[in-house]
Amino acid sequence: MEFIYENAVKIVMEQPGMIAMWIIGAFLIFLAIKFDMEPTLLLPMGFGAILVNLPVAGAPEVIETLYSATIENELLPLLLFIGIGAMIDFGPLLSNPKLMLFGASAQFGIFMTLFLAALLGDLGLFGEGFLITDAASIAIIGAADGPTSIFVAGQFGTKYIGAIIVAAYSYMALVPIVQPPVIKLLTTKKERLIRMEYSPKGVSRKTRIFFPIIVTIVVGLIAPECVSLIGFLMFGNLIRECGRLDSLSETAQKVLANLVTLLLGIVVAFTMKASDFLRWDTLIVIGLGLVAFIFDTAGGVLFAKFLNLFTKKKVNPMIGASGISAFPMSARVVHKMGLKEDPQNFLLMHSIGVNVSGQVASVIAGGIILSILG
Amino acid sequence: MKKIISALFIAILTLSLLSSFAVPAFAEGSEAEVSVNESSEVVDEVSETVSEEVSEENEDGKYANTIRSLEIMGFGMFGIFLVTAIIVCVMYLLTLFKDKKA
């Protein structure tokens, strides 16, 4: 009893950071359970945050071993991409390829955040500032894509990886809260009422099969740094579309994705040790993550508005916001906003097409940043 | 529509490309100021002042990361649109494949 009492007093007096991390861990678990915010990831992360911040070492060593075996070498993000690839239907995008442009424009937030992070660091407003690789790792939160964020941050070996992962997944869960005000701010009522007809063109099986193969080759030739990411994503998609591996496709979509997510959550918690996580920089990283999501949304919406200046057949600018990836949450948000404005305006298929294009574009953005700074 | 998209692409690509060249030129010093210096003395003085300030800041490396980030922004957006443009072309080509009717 005395031992427990002494230990408790010692923690409170000497390591208040640990207690703060327990509270943060509990908060993540609370968000996951109470508000259903990315529970598959936030719950294991929250528990992991408590686990690695206990005074007597033991579990952290195991997690560290798992971390170096699965995250440092990028294994888990890549495996997760197979599952994501198997989940994605590129049909809406293939039937209207120009939607891909919105995915590209909605990556603007990544670069804007990179600029702001670098500027904040250079202005010396806090501590030692950010290295350019740290700024790039933070900016990639704007990819709105967990595995890409982990992959890029891992490649750059940034010390902010814990905060980056927490921010990336938290904001993905907060897409329904973050995006609507930005969309409303940048569009008029009239623009939000624009109806878009959906006339599905049949996409042949050959097209669906060739698409992942050719995209992998093209991206591999132009942006080789991201070929592993895009390759695993497209491999998952090929399993889905080939029509001969239904059971594998189902396994990748459910079992593999769940298993990897489960491990990912608890393993990345290794980066949430009080000494690494409880810094002012962490708050700045989380703030910059929000900036990235806002500018991503703005980039997509403004690009759509820009296109409307020249086209007869107007595009509802709201669909541009789906280009931030965050699949399929962002597409649903836009669809719901469209229905709220006009119950007969069904934007889902358009926004899904933009959303999957954002998934590809965010991986390309990550690869390009790695190519430039790697 | 296709013509407009093509024009748009060219405009964005050109702007991105220009920005990726312009930013390093700014960062490295006064290349852009050479022509300005020749035009008038007033502009010359202003140009020198700005040039000195920029050089001083760059010597200290104070804004090195910010300038680098602008450079990355230029190259990055250019790169994304370039790869995307190629993928769009690939997708249009792929849609030529039709399944045999049963």
Residues B24-51 have a mean pLDDT of 50
Confidence of residue A11 (pLDDT cuts 50, 70, 90): low
Measured distance CA(A166)–CA(A156) in Å, rounded: 17
Which residues from B are below 8 Å from A359, CB to CB? none
Look at residue B29 in the predicted model and tell me its pLDDT.
46
Cβ neighbours of B100 (radius 10 Å) = 6
B10 touches chain A (CB under 8 A): no
Q: How far apart are CA A324 and CA A259, in angstroms?
A: 25
Task: Find, in chain A, the residue whose alpha carbon is nearest to that of B69.
Answer: A115
For residue A8, count other CB atoms closer than 10 A to its CB. 11
Model confidence pLDDT, tens digit, residues A68-93: 888 877 888 889 889 989 998 888 88
d(CA A73, CA A355): 28
| Residue A52 host element (H or E) | none
* pLDDT(A244) > 80: yes
Of the candidates A204, A210, A310, the beta carbon closest to that of B99 is on A204
Distance of alpha carbon A268 from alpha carbon A161, whole angstroms: 8
Kindly write down the DSSP assignment for every residue of A76-94, as one continuous string. HHHHHHHHHHHH---HHHH
Which residue from A108, A129, A373 is facing B77, i.e. has the nearest CB? A108
**Is A23:A274 a contact under the CB 8 Å cutoff?**
no
**A-to-B residue pairs, Cβ atoms closer than 8 angstroms:** 132
Tell me which of B96 and A33 has the higher pLDDT: A33
Residues in chain B: 102
- Please state the separation of Cα A162 from the chain's center in Å: 14
Q: How many angstroms separate the CA atoms of A251 and A263, rounded?
A: 17
**Residue A36, in any domain of the structure:** yes
Determine how many CB atoms are found less than 10 A away from the CB of residue A290: 17
Q: Which domain holds residue A251?
A: 10-373
Chain B residues with CB-CB distance to A201 below 8 A: 95
pLDDT in tens, B15-35: 555 555 454 454 454 444 444
Nearest one of A269, A287, A308, A122 to B5, comparing CA atoms: A308
Q: How far is CA A133 from CA A127, A130, A195, A270, B72, in A?
A: 16, 8, 43, 21, 11
How far is A150 from A267, CA to CA, in rounded Å? 12
Please answer whether residues A310 and B12 qualify as being in contact, where contact means their C-beta atoms are separated by less than 8 angstroms: no
Residue A129 lies in a domain: yes
Domain positions in chain B are 2-94
Residues A28, A12: Cα–Cα separation, whole Å: 22
Residue-level pLDDT at A146: 81
Q: What is the pLDDT of residues A157-209, one digit of tens each?
A: 888 888 888 888 778 778 888 889 999 999 888 888 888 877 767 778 888 89
**Do B33 and B51 contact (CB within 8 A), yes or no?**
yes
Q: For tokens 């020198």, what's the residue? A: B48
Instruction: Determine contact, residues A29/A42, Cβ cutoff 8 Å.
Output: yes
Q: Phi and psi of B89, rounded to 5°?
A: -60, -45
Tell me how far apart the terminal alpha carbons of chain A are, to the nearest angstrom. 54
- Write the CA distances from B85 to A208, A250, A304, integer angstroms: 19, 32, 16
Candidate ranges A24-38, A100-114, A124-138, A141-155; pick with highest mean pLDDT: A100-114
Going by C-beta distance under 8 Å and a sequence separation of 6 or more, which residues neighbour residue A266? A44, A45, A47, A48, A51, A63, A66
Determine, for residues A98 and B80 on separate chains, whether the beta-carbon distance falls below 8 Å: no
Length of chain A: 374
ipTM of the complex: 0.82
Report yes or no on A4 lying in a domain.
Answer: no
**How far is B98 from B94, CA to CA, in rounded Å?**
9
The amino acid present at A256, given as its one-letter code, is L
Considering the domain boundaries, does residue A330 fall inside one?
yes
Mutate to test the interface with A, among B3, B15, B66, B92 (most CBs of A within 10 A): B66
> Domain for residue A1, yes or no?
no
Per-residue model confidence (pLDDT) at position A212: 92
The predicted pLDDT at position A3 comes to 64
Contacts of A209 (CB under 8 A, 6+ apart): A238, A241, A242
Burial class (CB in 10 A: 0-12, 13-18, 19+), A190: exposed
Residue A59 has a pLDDT of 65
Residue A2, in any domain of the structure: no
Q: Is the pLDDT of residue A37 over 80?
A: no
Residue range A31-41: mean pLDDT, rounded: 82
As a whole number, the mean pLDDT across chain A is 85
Under DSSP, the state recorded for A108 is H
Tell me the mean pLDDT in the region B74-100: 83
3-class secondary-structure state, position B63: coil
Task: With beta carbons less than 8 A apart as the criterion, state whether A40 and A261 touch.
Answer: yes
Q: What is the mean pLDDT of residues A41-47?
A: 86
Q: Is A3 a domain residue?
A: no
User: What is the structure's pLDDT at A324?
Assistant: 87
Give A320-339 pLDDT, tens digit per residue.
999 887 778 888 889 989 99
Q: Examine residue A111 and state whether it is found in any structural domain, yes or no.
A: yes
Mean pLDDT value across residues A220-234: 85
Q: Work out the minimum CA distance from B38 to partner chain A, whole angstroms.
A: 33
Task: Tally DSSP H helices, then E strands, for chain A.
Answer: 21, 0
Summarize pLDDT for A356-374 with one digit per residue, the tens.
899 889 988 888 888 888 7
Q: Does the pLDDT value for residue A237 go beyond 90? A: yes
For the record, the structure tokens of A142 come out as: 């704007």
The predicted structure's pLDDT at residue B34: 43
Mean pLDDT computed over A150-162:
85
Q: Which of residues 36-95 of B touch A (CB under 8 A)?
A: 62-66, 68-70, 72-73, 75-77, 79-84, 86-88, 90-92, 94-95
